[in-house]
Chain A
Amino acid sequence: MNENPDIQAHQLLDNLSLYYGPKKKFVAICAGTGCRASGSLKVKEALEAELKKQNMNEVDVLATGCLGFCEKGPMVIVHPDKYFYQHVKVEDVPEIVSKTVAKGEIISRLVYRHPETQKTLYREEDLPFYKKQNRIVFGQNGMLDPSKIEAYFNIDGYQALAKVLSEMTPEDVINEVKKAGLRGRGGGGFPAAVKWEGVRRAHGEPKYVIANGDEGDPGAYMDRSLMEGNPHSVIEGMIIGAYAVGSNQGYIYVRNEYPLAVTHLTIALEAARQNGLLGKNILGTNFSFDIHINKGAGAFVCGESSALFASIEGRAGEPRAKYVHAVEKGLYDKPTVLNNVETWANVPLIINKGADWYASIGTEGSKGTKIFSLVGKINNTGLIEVPMGTTLYEIIYDMGGGIPNGRKFKAVQTGGPSGGCIPERLLDIPVDFDKLYEVGSMMGSGGMIVMDETSCMVDVARYFLEFLKEESCGKCVPCREGIRRMSDILEDICSGRGREGDIEILESMGAAIADGSLCALGGSAPNPVLSTIRYFREEYEAHIKEHRCPAGVCKALITYGIDAEKCTGCGVCVKVCATQAITGEKKKAHVIDKDKCTRCGACIQSCKFDAIKVK
């Protein structure tokens, strides 16, 4: 119950949100990590300078968080028409300002063209990449500068918190989240409200609320983009959660590799404190809560709950057996709610728009949307947010635009090192927590790595086991020794030393490791191997029985050669070859000395005529 019912938190909040708002005209430029790497900050500076130069002080430049379509960065969106420009360079800026901003004219060389029809598409929402998405969480990124709390107020930020504090009891909040059907976005899909209820009821003080931002799954970066692009949505969700469970202290655990996320979170926390949204007596009520940022130090296992607690406590991140759940004994052995960053960001939406609205999105068992990172061998790489239940086919072909260079799709890997590879014939399955589990993979935090015919599935399994071997904390034997042995066997298979019976050993070891390991890292570690054996057994057999890598990846099993008909004798490959393995006369077909060749791939990447063949 609100302990200070006289206070109308709504009114207090209204006083705060005196933000000027983006003026009618503004130019948004993506300043997420991807676009920054492509030079977006220079474009931003140029935009500001040019607007000044052309006396257009009424137009704002908004450096936003990640807009998702990272492939096309740096991206500029000119409002209010929402014209979408891709691959913008500093040289393009004067024209953007004088034509598009000033007169609403479109610069055709910067707009998106449909790869098949070549039709030009001007607006963000017309692009096939965005069209089928439902960006209820992630879409806010494009409307705000993450370093300004006023920008968040302007999109109804902290209204959910005000509503909770002035109108709802903690039980109401838990019931609303339960009714919405919110499940944890970190991988397990555990119902968030059940956790909250457990902590509310648990004995022991203080209680803790934690956001897990240790996004360790390689190939996944949606949490990064939320922390960087809309940090207040995560913070607001946490404050609401803390009110619901009765906690006064929260932590955000962020990966060491995400410096920009730490910067933006730090700015956001300070701004929230200054506005009375964190600290003592939030919005004038008797409820107090504050959040501390903890940086990880590069250990994948710290995404696991008990390892994460150990790390916050200042110890090596080793998991413990979970006879007693975190809701009873978590951080410092006190009742603790741990939810993933994306889960927290969903909470304000549920409160603002209602559980019924939220539950109307998604499937029977999985409600709402999910953000995925669509990466690998795919045309439109980036972050997408889709309703639960969208099929893999829609994601990969409609939004992702299919596979580049006319190659054939082979598999999509979901769930990171705990997940599996899903083959083409299962592309029609609707993506939700339960369906992915049924086909031997899992949702994980939302990485989707697309692979084509040039990806070797044995090599992918080897890659993940190598990764897990390094990241196993070493506490329990099945994980520490078992993964190492599985990794050795896979290494042998990829090096042409595979033996009959290896597949069966991998299968039986996989089952034992999954059963015997202490935490989820070991428990799910065999998944990448078991799922690739299940769907791509013939590739394993080709490696073992025929010493052949059908995809042309495993170095020990392939040779490079030059197609004499395609080779023009230009000599570029000769220059890039580090071992002088390529020889030939100018303007005549060259040859590769197989003994000298180290199959490093430099010649393939440099050849403009597709003349170098892998067998």
Chain B
Amino acid sequence: MTNVTEIKQKTKQIIKKHKSNKSALIAVLQDIQEAFNYLPKEALKTASNMMKVPMSRVYEAATFYTAFSLKPRGKHIVKICKGTACHVRGAAILQDRFETTLGIKPGETTKDGKFSLETVNCVGACALGPVVVINTDYHGQVTINKVDKIIKKINNEEGAQQ
């Protein structure tokens, strides 16, 4: 678990990189999320102070954009593409299956902190639809019957690492 001092310190470094420029708020939030996998409260407070942007504005930006999360996210992020091309090729029933297999809804994280489920409007890999992006790997033409296998494979790889 990252502690408060560490969060503050890292956030300060990020803000310095962007020269405390107010217009860089979105970029700062993106870097914070990349560092911690979510936006910790302490980091947002630090950003508000250092960049002289009211906390209400910081919070507004952090909640307006879907890419940001105020809650810690899982180790593996499963993104189901819900673009039109994927939709007509069955993304909705695919989502159902991921929900059942992982036992969570989009925006939630499994209790063990391993997986977060998210939906995304379109990842731009429409020819391969339906597409699921797990972390940075694209899985194309995913069928319902592949869902369990994909999750199992990730679990196995982790088991092997430990």
- Residues of A close to B89: CB separation below 8 A: 376-377
CB-based contact B64/A257 at 8 Å: no
B25 touches A314 (CB 8 A): yes
- B6-14, B109-117, B140-148, B150-158 - interface stretch: B140-148
Asked if B67 is at the interface (CB within 8 A of a chain A CB), the reply is: yes
- Is B40 on the interface with A (CB-CB < 8 A)? no
- Any chain A CB within 8 A of the CB of B22? yes
Q: In the complex, what distance in Å separates the CA atom of A377 from the CA atom of B85?
A: 8
Cβ of B55 within 8 Å of any chain A Cβ, yes or no, is no
Q: Is B93 an interface residue (CB 8 A)?
A: yes
Report chain A residues within 8 Å CB of B23.
312-314
Whether a CB of chain A sits under 8 angstroms from the CB of B97 is yes
Given A38-B128, A314-B22, A605-B144; 9 other pairs, CB 8 A cutoff:
A37-B140, A297-B68, A315-B57, A315-B61, A375-B84, A375-B126, A376-B85, A381-B126, A473-B64
Contact status of A70 and B65, CB under 8 A, knowing A257-B120, A312-B23: no
Check if A375 sits within 8 Å of B129, measured CB to CB: yes
Complex: how many Å from CA A217 to CA B126? 11
| CB-defined contacts of A329 to chain B, threshold 8 Å | none
CB <8 Å contact, B27 and A294? yes
Interface residues of A in 376-424 (CB under 8 A from B): 376-377, 381-382, 413, 416
Q: Contact at A37–B22, with CB atoms within 8 Å?
A: no
B88-A314 in contact (CB<8A)? no
A312 to chain B, nearest CB (A): 7
Whether B126 contacts A221 by the Cβ 8 Å rule is yes
State whether A70 and B122 are in contact (beta carbons under 8 Å apart), knowing that A294-B27, A297-B30, A297-B68 are contacts in the complex.
no
Shortest beta-carbon contacts, A-B, top 6? A70-B127, A297-B65, A37-B138, A221-B124, A218-B83, A314-B25
Asked whether A219 and B120 contact (CB < 8 A) given A70-B128, A312-B23, A601-B93, the answer is no
Q: Are A413 and B84 in contact (CB under 8 A)?
A: yes
Classify chain B: how many residues form its interface, as a range. Answer: 35 or more
Query: A601 vs B145: C-alpha distance in the bound complex, in angstroms?
Result: 10
- Which chain A residues lie closer than 8 Å to B68 at the CB level? 297
Interface residues of B in 15-59 (CB under 8 A from A): 21-27, 29-30, 53, 57
The answer on a CB contact under 8 Å between B64 and A299 is: yes
Q: Are B82 and A297 in contact (CB under 8 A)?
A: no
Are A463 and B61 in touch, CB under 8 angstroms?
Answer: no
A467 B124 Cβ-Cβ under 8 A: no
Establish whether residues A221 and B84, one from each chain, have CB atoms under 8 Å apart when the complex forms: no
A515 to B53, CA, bound (A): 36
- Whether a CB of chain B sits under 8 angstroms from the CB of A298 is yes
Docked complex Cα distance between A422 and B129 (Å)? 22
Q: Is the CB of B30 within 8 A of A295?
A: yes
Assuming the contacts A37-B139, A224-B124, asked whether A219 and B24 have C-beta atoms less than 8 A apart, the reply is: no
Chain A residues with CB under 8 A of B60: 315-316
**CA–CA, A216 and B27, complex, Å:** 19
When distances are taken between beta carbons in the complex, the residues of chain B under 8 Å from A257 are: 120-124
| Distance of A602 Cα from B23 Cα, bound (Å) | 48
**Counting chain A CB atoms within 10 Å of each CB, which of B84, B128, B136, B144 scores highest?**
B84
Are the C-beta atoms of A449 and B82 separated by less than 8 Å?
no
Q: Is A34 an interface residue (CB 8 A)?
A: yes
Residue in chain A with minimal CB distance to B51: A314
List the A side residues contacting B100 at CB < 8 Å. 578
Q: Does B66 contact A (CB under 8 A)?
A: yes
Q: A373–B61 contact, CB under 8 A?
A: no
13 sample A-B contacts, Cβ–Cβ < 8 Å, listed by A number: A34-B125, A34-B140, A37-B128, A37-B131, A70-B127, A216-B122, A218-B83, A221-B124, A314-B21, A316-B61, A460-B84, A467-B121, A602-B145
Task: Using CB atoms and an 8 Å cutoff, list the residues of chain A in contact with chain B.
Answer: 33-34, 36-38, 70-71, 73, 215-221, 224, 255-259, 294-300, 311-317, 373, 375-377, 381-382, 413, 416, 447, 449, 451, 455, 460, 463-464, 467, 471, 473, 576, 578, 598, 600-602, 605-606
Report the Cα distance A177→B65, complex, angstroms: 36
Contact status of A600 and B84, CB under 8 A, knowing A314-B24, A314-B25: no
Residues of A within 8 A of B72 (CB): none
Residues of B within 8 A of A451 (CB): 88
Most buried by A among B21, B23, B131: B23
Select the residue from B21, B120, B125 with max chain A CB neighbours within 10 A: B125
Please pick, from A220, A294, A473, A601, the residue contacting B122 in the complex, using a CB distance under 8 A. Answer: A220
Nearest B-chain residue to A599, judged by Cβ: B93
Distance of A441 from chain B, by nearest CB (Å): 13
Residue in contact with A34 in the complex, picked from B82, B97, B127, B139, CB distance below 8 Å = B127
In the assembled complex, the Cα of A455 lies from the Cα of B87 at a distance in Å of: 10
Say how far A306's CB is from chain B's closest CB, in angstroms.
Answer: 15
> In the assembly, what is the distance between CA of A576 and CA of B149, in Å?
12
Contact B122 A218 (CB under 8 A): yes
With A34-B125, A38-B128: A311-B88 Cβ-Cβ less than 8 Å:
no
**Smallest beta-carbon distance B139→chain A, Å:** 7
* A71 in contact with B122 (CB, 8 Å): no
Which chain A residues lie closer than 8 Å to B138 at the CB level?
33, 36-37
Q: A314-B23, A449-B88, A601-B90 are in contact. Are A216 and B121 (CB under 8 A)?
A: yes
Contacting pair B85 A375 (CB below 8 A): yes
By the criterion CB–CB under 8 Å, are A381 and B121 in contact? no
Contact of A297 among B26, B97, B121 (CB under 8 A): B26
Option from A34, A295, A298, A602 in Cβ contact (under 8 Å) with B144 = A602
Q: A219–B26 contact, CB under 8 A?
A: no
**Alpha-carbon separation in the docked complex, A313 to B57 (Å):** 12
Q: Are A299 and B65 in touch, CB under 8 angstroms?
A: yes
B126 touches A373 (CB 8 A): yes
A217 & B122 in contact (Cβ 8 Å cutoff): yes
Contact residues in A for B21 (Cβ distance below 8 Å): 314
Give Cα A217–Cα B102 distance, bound, in whole angstroms. Answer: 29
With a cutoff of 8 Å between Cβ atoms, the chain B residues found around residue A220 in the complex are 122, 124, 126
Report the Cα distance A226→B120, complex, angstroms: 21
* Closest residue of B by beta carbon distance from A299: B65
A258 to B139 Cα, complex, angstroms: 16
Contact B29 A219 (CB under 8 A): no
| B84/A376 in contact, CB under 8 A | yes
Q: B127 near A375 (CB under 8 angstroms)? A: yes
A449 touches B85 (CB 8 A): yes
A residues near B96, Cβ cutoff 8 Å = 598, 600
CB distance from B58 to the nearest CB of A (A): 10
Chain B neighbourhood of A34, CB < 8 A: 125, 127-128, 140
